[in-house]
Each structure stands twice: as C-alpha cells, then as structure tokens.
Amino acid sequence: MTFTTLALIVAVGLLGPLLAARESWRIPSVVGELLAGVLIGKTALSWIDPEDATLSFLADTGFGLTMLVIGSQVPIRDREVRAVLGRGFLGAIAVGIVGAGLGTLISLWFGTGHAALYAVLLSSSSAALVLPILQSLDVKSPQLVAQIAIADIVCIAALPLVIVPSRALIAAGGAVAIGAFAVALTVAIRFAGRRGWTRRLHRVSQSRDFALEMRISVLILCLLAAVAQATHVSVMLAGFALGLVLATIGQPRRLARQLFGVTEGFLGPLFYVWLGASIDLRDLVEHPDKILLGAVLAAGAVAAHLVSRTAGLPWLQAIASSGQLGIPLAAVALGVETSSLAAGEGAGILFGALITVAVATFAAGRVRAPASR
C-alpha cells in the first residue's frame, strides 16, 4: 500500500458526504462510501487491492473505532429510555422470535445453511441509521430507542458466534472476556471518578494538550482488539464494548469530538470504502438468486419488526425500526475475513440492507407527516 492508494481512498470516500448533503434524500454517507469502494474495487476498476495487509489492518482499525462511536451513542443514561426498557425489551424479544423463524425458513429456501446468521440479521436494528433520522424530524419515541438499543447490543454480541459456527465456543469465550473487562473497566472508572482522579487527569490533559483520554481510549481499544483477534471474535465487539463503557460513565465532550474526528474523518470512511472494494457485485450476475435473497431478507426484516406492534410500538415506528446497516455491514466484513459466505451472498445481504434503509427512511418521514399536516 502506498500514499497514492491512501489518497485515492480518501478522495473517493468524499462521495459519501456528497450524496448525504441533500437532506431530502436522507441517504447515509456510508452508502456513498460503499459505492465508491465498489467502483474502485473488485467489481469495476480494480484500482486497489482490498487484500493488501496494510489496508486490511487500517480497515479493521476503522471498524473498531466505528463500533466504538456507535456504542458510545447508545442512550444508556437517558431516564425516559430507561423508564420504558421493559416494553422495549418485549418488543425486541418478539422481533427476535419471529426473526429466528423467518431466518430458518429463508436458509432452508436458499439452501445456504445460515439460519442463525439470517436470524440475527432479521432481528437487528441500526441505531446509527434510524435514530438520527428521527431526531432530524423532531420525533421522540423512548420505546423505539430502547428497543433499537437492546437489539443492537444483543445482535452485535451474537454475530461473531453465528458467522462461523465451528468457532462458536472460542468466540463465546472471547466475548465473555471482553464483556468482563468492560464491566471491570466501568467499575474502575467510577471508583476513580469518586476519588477525583479522572477530573485531575482531564484538567492536566486539557491544560497541557496531552489528549490523555484519547490515548488511553485507543490503548484500551487495542488491548480489547488483541483479545478479539486471538479468539476470532472480531474487533467490532471490542469497539462496541468500549463504546458502551463510555456511554455508561458519560463520555467527556472533548473525547467525543476527538473520537468522532479520527473515525468519521479518516478511518471510518476508509473501512467502508475497503468493504465496498472487497465485494464483487458481478457475483450477483452469475448468481441472480442472491438478488432475490437480499429482497427476501429485507421483506423478512420488515415483517419481523412489525411484530413489535404487540408491545405498543406504533405501526410506522415499527417499520422504521427495521432499518439495518451496521449488522449487515459487520456480517459481510466478517464473511470476507473468514470466507464463510457463498459467492454473491455478501452482495445480496448488502442489497437487502439498502432496501431496509429506503423503507425505514420512508416510514420515518411518514411518522412526521401527520404532525406536519
């Protein structure tokens, strides 16, 4: 990998903000970054080699940081959300049960043997996608936020276990180790906060421009990623676990800005461009059944999330909660890393995810429409 390659990746990654700039379209910037990767990767021009070791390592780092930022935005401390956790939990459970049944049927229909993977995909929601759309429309729904947050946490923890079943025991051990470390870290930080140590650290870091919180966060992320790598869990769980720790203790604004800058400004887009470059959409031409697979997965996701109406979630909000992006992206990234997906299956999963993005965007807009009239 050279700086020319890096400059190309950063340049084409600007397609994400360009597409997202038009607010009426409500297209997440990640969609443009994936398309940019498709353009310069295996599908079209082959200007970059996604299997390059250095590029793959940088992409993994961006993956971990992206999940860290997503985890830090889970509204664990929101009182309104915590007040309706019970209903959110019931809604997530109902969606999970239906998603498991539909995932099994889809796996049998297409003969992929990925029933558990499809169950996780159908049951997942994307907080990073749905919540910003609702916030931009000034729509408040604590129950929807609670349900999406619970689904995010459970599906992100489950995904590494189902992507390669033969490694499930090792992956489960790694997931438990990462979770235990996250809990211990939360307790330790709260203890240090009561003693005033974190406040002193923050003052010294801010007055001397040391960026100590950022350095310590990156150090912890690297340690958790090392555990994840050794146990075949994926850095996504390491990043998300650390993000939940920050969400629990209350992330300092300065640290949030620093993490957001390095993630959204560089390593996050690099990961999405790399992921798009790793997928050969020409496989869909050779395996058109995977196009149908994506459409069926999208329809199954919407159908599964409609069940959350039984927990009291309004119809349009239930449909909006079916929007998926993070989990399908992570599934495809893990599939590329482990070669566990069939030819065209990763592209089909992404195709289905993009359909749910469109459906969720439309439904969220209709949630606002009656109030506007």
* d(C-alpha 276, C-alpha 37), whole Å: 4
What is the pLDDT, as a whole number, of residue 137?
63
Q: With bands split at pLDDT 50, 70 and 90, how would you rate the model's confidence at 331? A: confident
Q: Are 38 and 276 in contact (CB under 8 A)?
A: yes
> Nearest-5° angle of CA 272, CA 61, CA 15?
25
Q: Enter the pTM of the model.
A: 0.81
pLDDT surpassing 80 at residue 183: yes
The CATH code of domain 3-372 reads 1.20.1530.20
What is the pLDDT, as a whole number, of residue 54?
94
Quick one: average pLDDT of 143-165?
Answer: 84
- Work out whether the CA dihedral 77, 80, 81, 86 comes out positive or negative: positive
The residue assigned the tokens 């180790």 is: 177
What is the pLDDT, as a whole number, of residue 372?
46
Quick one: average pLDDT of 9-26?
Answer: 86
The residue ranking higher by pLDDT, 176 or 339, is: 176
pLDDT in tens, 123-139: 998 776 676 666 666 66
What is the pLDDT, as a whole number, of residue 40?
95
The two structure tokens encoding residue 250: 């209350």
Most confident option among 20-24, 116-120, 228-232, 360-364: 116-120
